[in-house]
């Protein structure tokens, strides 16, 4: 047999038939998760054409983008647009027979956090969903990828998608991360190294000792954010840690079925000599905590470094991009990053709002206070994460430090709810995108790890978390 990558194996095992001679296939997709803002037009399309959903039990609907995060949650949405979207969402769930976690459900949360914690994504699956961060599921050995609304409609009607096989990119992570260097810093280091289009259209497999040593939740952060380099899929071969993560979750098999599944899952890996189209390597021991200074996720620098000078960039397109980014961010070349004051701090998002993320931020905040004038919020990735953080005493640490302890949702990551920054506000953020206007028109976002957000909140400026941990 020709040696194959894990990606090849997943595509092969889900190919209904080839559609051309150049890698276009009709791909069977096992599951999806739907949110309230990219799915409405797909359901309308089904209605207009008189079509049914092929397999309602293969889908889950989760309200996550528009719901308020106020500490007391109510069923009604005050915002008219959010109310319209959530009511249409509920109607679609009822009419098409799909399970719904609305904003009042104890299982509610950010779609990708919920899918993993419910055990709805299992190794070997193909999962497509109307959100770019669907790549997160690669951490569980499943091929997840983001699609648009037309393709959601296609999935719902047919359980398949026309799919062109991707080029493969192996990213090998060597070494042991130093103090203060988290999976977020590692993936920001990868995106910085290969660029915001460095994995465009690629299926990435993460390999190497630093990946093997990383927790499953850490791997989710890697797979989640590699989409910021343009990846269309991310994978980590499932191992014993993944089995430990899945065992006992509501959607995981039990008994003899678990035994059979576990054996199959541990066999899901690239053959030793499988060819990848490209390869990149990064020694994570060379990294220090990273912070973005610009408006693209690859515009990142070591926290002990300075804002770069566009004049030193030879590529004119990149140079113009840097100049524009610095103008938007209100920063001058040469400014030490650790001298940049912040007005807001946000811990949340599908990248960094899992229990391990909250633990690492709380560790920094224990016995400390948010600096005067800084508005700090923490939005757990799901209601279950929130409950667990409360049980572990993390919520008390956040509150005592002066953070607002919120209900779960996507919140200020894309600010479709009422957690929006004003023009000129500068936010230390654990999210994945620092695009212009994303957290609010004129708002300035600096991406960093949850622990670094905690450190910035305490210092009132961007701050090297290693100085606080020492």
Partner 1 sequence: MEPLIRLTGIAAPLPAANVDTDVIMPKQFLKGIDREGLRDGVFHFLRFAGDGSPRPDFILNRGPWRGASILVTGPNFGCGSSREHAVWGLRQLGIRAILGTTFGGIFFDNCLNNGILALGLPPDDLAVLLRLAEDPAHNRLTIDLPAQTLLGDDGTCVAFALDARRKEALLRGHDAIAATLEEANAIQSFEKAHHQANPWLA
Site for partner 1 in 429-458 (CB under 8 A): 433, 435-438, 441
Q: Considering the rule CB under 8 A, would residue 224 count as an interface residue with partner 1? A: no
Which residues in 337-352 are b (16+ Cβ under 10 Å) and which e?
bbebebbbbbbbbbbb
Q: Are 173 and 208 in contact (CB under 8 A)?
A: yes
Helix 394-401 / helix 450-459 crossing angle, nearest 10 deg: 30
Which of residues 158, 215, 375, 404 is near partner 1 by CB under 8 A?
Answer: 158
- Residue holding tokens 């957000």? 453
Range in contact with partner 1 (rule: CB under 8 A) among 30-38, 93-101, 214-222, 332-340: 30-38
Nearer to partner 1, 108 or 132 (CB): 132
Cβ neighbours of 149 (radius 10 Å): 17
Q: Which residues are annotated as a binding site for [4Fe-4S] cluster?
A: 350, 410, 413
Q: Considering the rule CB under 8 A, would residue 260 count as an interface residue with partner 1? A: yes
Q: How far apart are CA 445 and CA 146, in angstroms?
A: 24
Nearer to partner 1, 114 or 229 (CB): 229
Binding pattern for the stretch 115-154 against partner 1, x by CB under 8 A and - elsewhere: -------x-xx----xxx-------------xxxxxx-xx
Nearer to partner 1, 48 or 273 (CB): 48
Query: Total residues contacting partner 1 (rule CB under 8 A)?
Result: 73
Which of residues 73, 107, 213, 230 is near partner 1 by CB under 8 A?
Answer: 230
Q: How far apart are CA 214 and CA 216, in angstroms?
A: 7
Which of residues 44, 215, 241, 363 is near partner 1 by CB under 8 A?
Answer: 44
Q: How far apart are CA 146 and CA 152, in angstroms?
A: 10
Query: What is the closest distance, in whole angstroms, from the C-beta atom of residue 96 to partner 1 in the complex?
Result: 15
* Sheet arrangement for strand 99-101: 32-34, 59-62, 99-101
For 73-127, the three-class secondary structure string (H helix, E strand, C coil) is CCCCCCCHHHHHHHHHHHHHHHHHCCEEECCCCCCCECHHHHHHHCCCCCCCCEE
DSSP class per residue in 282-314: EEGGG---EEE-SSSTT-EEETTSBPPPGGG--
Q: How far apart are CA 96 and CA 112, in angstroms?
A: 22
Q: How far apart are CA 266 and CA 322, in angstroms?
A: 44
Which of residues 84, 266, 306, 400 is near partner 1 by CB under 8 A?
Answer: 84
Instruction: Extract the tokens encoding 92.
Output: 């679609």
**Phi, then psi, of 30 in degrees rounded to 5:** -75, -40
Range in contact with partner 1 (rule: CB under 8 A) among 174-182, 317-325, 399-407, 451-459: 317-325
Residue 334: C-alpha distances to residues 96, 115, 329 (Å): 56, 43, 14
List binders of partner 1 among 53-82 (CB under 8 A): 54, 66, 79-82
Binding pattern for the stretch 162-181 against partner 1, x by CB under 8 A and - elsewhere: x-------------------
List binders of partner 1 among 412-431 (CB under 8 A): 414-416
Helix, strand, or coil (residue 86): helix
Binding pattern for the stretch 324-363 against partner 1, x by CB under 8 A and - elsewhere: x---------------------------------------
List binders of partner 1 among 271-300 (CB under 8 A): 296
List binders of partner 1 among 363-422 (CB under 8 A): 414-416
Query: What is the closest distance, in whole angstroms, from the C-beta atom of residue 4 to partner 1 in the complex?
Result: 17
Range in contact with partner 1 (rule: CB under 8 A) among 9-17, 267-275, 334-342, 381-389: 9-17
Query: What is the closest distance, in whole angstroms, from the C-beta atom of residue 322 to partner 1 in the complex?
Result: 10
**Phi, then psi, of 373 in degrees rounded to 5:** 90, -10
């Amino acid at each position: 047999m020709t040696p194959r990558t894990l990606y090849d194996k997943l595509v092969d095992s889900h190919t209904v038939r080839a559609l051309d001679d150049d890698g276009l296939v009709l791909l069977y997709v096992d599951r999806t998760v739907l949110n309230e803002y990219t799915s409405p037009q797909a359901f309308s399309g089904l209605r207009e054409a008189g079509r049914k959903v092929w397999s309602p039990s293969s889908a889950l609907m989760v309200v996550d983008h528009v719901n308020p995060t106020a500490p007391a949650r109510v069923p009604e949405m005050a915002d008219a647009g959010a109310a319209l979207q959530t009511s249409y969402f509920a109607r679609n769930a009822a009419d098409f027979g799909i399970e719904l976690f609305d904003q009042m459900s104890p299982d509610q949360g950010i779609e990708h956090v919920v899918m993993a914690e419910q055990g709805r994504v299992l190794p070997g699956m193909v999962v497509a969903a109307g959100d770019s961060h669907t790549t997160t599921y690669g951490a569980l050995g499943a091929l997840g990828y983001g699609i648009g609304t037309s393709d959601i409609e296609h999935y719902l009607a047919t359980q398949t998608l026309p799919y062109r096989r991707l080029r493969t990119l192996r990213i090998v992570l060597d070494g042991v991360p130093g103090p203060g260097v988290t999976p977020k810093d590692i993936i920001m280091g990868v995106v910085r190294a290969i660029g915001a289009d460095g994995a465009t259209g690629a299926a990435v497999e993460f390999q190497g000792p630093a990946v093997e040593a990383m927790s499953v939740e850490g791997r989710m952060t890697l797979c989640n954010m590699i989409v910021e380099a343009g990846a269309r899929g991310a994978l980590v071969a499932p191992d014993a840690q993944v089995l430990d993560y899945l065992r006992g979750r509501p959607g995981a098999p039990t008994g003899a079925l678990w035994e059979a599944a576990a054996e199959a899952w541990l066999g899901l890996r690239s053959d030793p000599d499988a060819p990848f189209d490209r390869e990149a390597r990064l020694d994570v021991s060379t990294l220090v905590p990273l912070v973005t200074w610009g408006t693209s996720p690859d515009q990142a620098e070591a926290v002990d470094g300075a804002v770069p000078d566009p004049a030193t960039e030879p590529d004119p397109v990149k140079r113009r991009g840097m100049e524009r980014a610095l103008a938007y961010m209100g920063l001058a070349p040469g400014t030490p990053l650790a001298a940049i004051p912040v007005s807001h701090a946000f811990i949340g998002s599908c990248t960094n709002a899992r229990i391990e993320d909250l633990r690492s931020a709380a560790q920094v905040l224990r016995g400390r206070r948010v600096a005067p004038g800084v508005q700090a919020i923490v939005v757990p990735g799901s209601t279950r994460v929130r409950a667990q953080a409360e049980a572990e005493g993390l919520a008390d640490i956040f509150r005592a430090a002066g953070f607002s302890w919120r209900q779960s949702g996507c919140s200020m990551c894309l600010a479709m709810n009422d957690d929006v920054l004003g023009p000129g506000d500068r936010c230390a953020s654990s999210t994945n995108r620092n695009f212009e206007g994303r957290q609010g028109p004129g708002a300035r976002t600096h991406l960093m790890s949850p622990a670094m957000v905690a450190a910035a909140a305490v210092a009132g400026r961007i701050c090297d978390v290693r100085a606080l941990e020492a």
